[in-house]
Amino acid sequence: MNIQTDTTHDPKATSWVESANAAESEFPIQNLPFGAFRRRGSDEAARIGVAIGDQILDLQRALQQGGWSSAIQGLLQPLAQGDLNAHMARSAEERLALRHALFEALLSGSEQEAALRGALVAQADAEMLLPCRITDYTDFYTGIHHATTVGKLFRPDNPLLPNYKWVPIGYHGRSSSIVVSGTGIRRPWGQRKAPDAAEPTFAPSQRLDYELELGAFVAGGNALGEPIAMEKAEQHLFGLTLLNDWSARDIQPWEYQPLGPFLAKNFGTTISPWIVTMEALAPFRTAFERPAEDPQPLPYLDSAQNRTQGAFNIELEVWIETAAMRAAGLPAERLSQSNFRDAYWTWAQMLTHHASGGCNMNPGDLLGSGTQSGPRPEQGGSLLELSLGGKQAIRLANGETRTFLQDGDRLMLRGRAVAEGARSIGFGECSAEMLPAR
């Protein structure tokens, strides 16, 4: 399968939803991401919608308004009932057919404009919810610059463990504590032990941190015992979100050996509300390359398509707004920038490796990419890196300093897919405010 761009990626295409045509819009007609929402102030059940400009096309009302072929009506049925997982389980061909139908319906000059105007909800009038049932969650560790810098802090003599360049490393996280952007994150209590202390203490974390990541939702799954081949992996991927893997850096070093992260990570994970589909991301694919001196992937993690198209050009950013900045009316400040192109493994490799022993993946499973830090020190995707393990405070423009997050800080991730000759598309916001420990 060679993934190609089509008419839905035409950079000149415009929508009758005027706000989608603004150059800065993250949701032009070429994007069409899925999310779940309810109208603000109501207690209605979750509705599935597609972001277009500053609006949402409510798929329940869109189906009622008509103008769809009978095949597309069938595809819209579970979405109109609020069930995105059922749509994720559909074949790649069916998902592509719905994308084309939504594109045609929202295109400037579409005959469906009059009918669908009444199916729009302003994003400002919507409360975003988790986009689907997140059935399971695994976080990988594909940021080699992050792994090396953090490895140096935890193990100065042995920063990158010998398995790193052979195995896509991951740990099994908790799906129960994944929340949508805008949900407050409470500072966790936990066990921590200073290197020179005789015994640990149980107290609120003093080293609360974020991790700049992307998340990938699994589409159709595999049966238990049946692996997913690299050549089929792309068809099993639904789309991407921004993901913040909140981390307690004082709990982590004390608990992580020998079985990996546990309470340092499971108190909360934030995702952005819109799932940007793999179809929308086709123009932003790029070659997966390994430095010549590094081992090449084992055959089960290699494919011709992965070599030419497995990676993605997605610019990533982290922003902070402290309580003092908010009170003074100061704008948020950018902490770092990096690009997902620098990941050591691709989504296809993460998924294939996960299923390679027969583990069954399901529609709605979420994979985290691991922290995406760039090659330069100022490109660290966590405060652990930017503050050199808490030894060197970051100075903000208003004079405040940070080694780790303080209560009242609001942390935001942003992402934008860019490519020559393509209309760039965005991910919306992945943000949360730090709440004091209970």
Query: Which residue stretch of 25-33, 243-251, 401-409, 430-438 sits at the interface with Mn ion (rule: CB under 5 A)?
Result: 243-251
CA distances from 205 to 67, 188, 399, 434 (A): 55, 6, 24, 12
Query: Both ends of the chain: CA-CA distance in Å?
Result: 51
Tokens for 165?
A: 């360049």
How many helices (DSSP H) and strands (DSSP E) are in the chain?
Answer: 12, 27
Smallest distance, Mn ion to C-beta of residue 242, A: 13
Question: 266: closest CA among 356, 172, 195?
Answer: 172
Smallest distance, Mn ion to C-beta of residue 213, A: 6
Residue with smaller CB distance to Mn ion, 227 or 370: 370
Smallest distance, Mn ion to C-beta of residue 372, A: 10
Question: 244: closest CA among 1, 46, 433?
Answer: 433
Question: 64: closest CA among 100, 121, 128, 118?
Answer: 118
Residue with smaller CB distance to Mn ion, 90 or 146: 146
Smallest distance, Mn ion to C-beta of residue 368, A: 6
Query: Which residue stretch of 244-252, 299-307, 347-355, 389-397 sits at the interface with Mn ion (rule: CB under 5 A)?
Result: 244-252
- Cβ partners under 8 Å of residue 307, min gap 6: 287, 288, 289
Question: 144: closest CA among 125, 124, 167, 128?
Answer: 167
Residue with smaller CB distance to Mn ion, 211 or 429: 211
Query: Among 139, 255, 342, 409, which residue interacts with Mn ion (rule: CB under 5 A)?
Result: 139
- Cβ partners under 8 Å of residue 74, min gap 6: none
Residue with smaller CB distance to Mn ion, 78 or 261: 261
Between 256 and 295, how does the x/- string for binding to Mn ion read (CB under 5 A)? ----------------------------------------
Maximum Cα–Cα distance for the chain, whole Å? 73
Smallest distance, Mn ion to C-beta of residue 267, A: 13
Segments of 173-324 assigned E as strands: 178-180, 185-186, 189-192, 201-204, 208-209, 212-218, 237-244, 247-248, 269-271, 276-277, 285-286, 311-312, 314-321
Query: Among 26, 58, 209, 211, which residue interacts with Mn ion (rule: CB under 5 A)?
Result: 211
Smallest distance, Mn ion to C-beta of residue 419, A: 27
Place of tokens 């921590």: 192
385 binds Mn ion (CB under 5 A): no
Q: Please pick, among 9, 87, 146, 354, the residue that the annotation labels catalytic.
A: 146
Question: 86: closest CA among 152, 54, 131, 136?
Answer: 131
Residue with smaller CB distance to Mn ion, 139 or 234: 139
Query: Which residue stretch of 9-17, 46-54, 134-142, 252-260 sits at the interface with Mn ion (rule: CB under 5 A)?
Result: 134-142
Residue with smaller CB distance to Mn ion, 245 or 365: 245
Q: Residue 318, class by beta-carbon neighbours within 10 Å (0-12 exposed, 13-18 middle, 19+ buried)?
A: buried
209 binds Mn ion (CB under 5 A): no
Smallest distance, Mn ion to C-beta of residue 163, A: 17
Residue 87 falls in the annotated catalytic set: no
8 Å CB contact between 385 and 289: no
| Total residues at interface with Mn ion (CB under 5 A) | 3
Query: Among 136, 245, 342, 385, which residue interacts with Mn ion (rule: CB under 5 A)?
Result: 245
Interface with Mn ion (CB under 5 A): 139, 211, 245
Which residues are known to be catalytic? Answer: 146
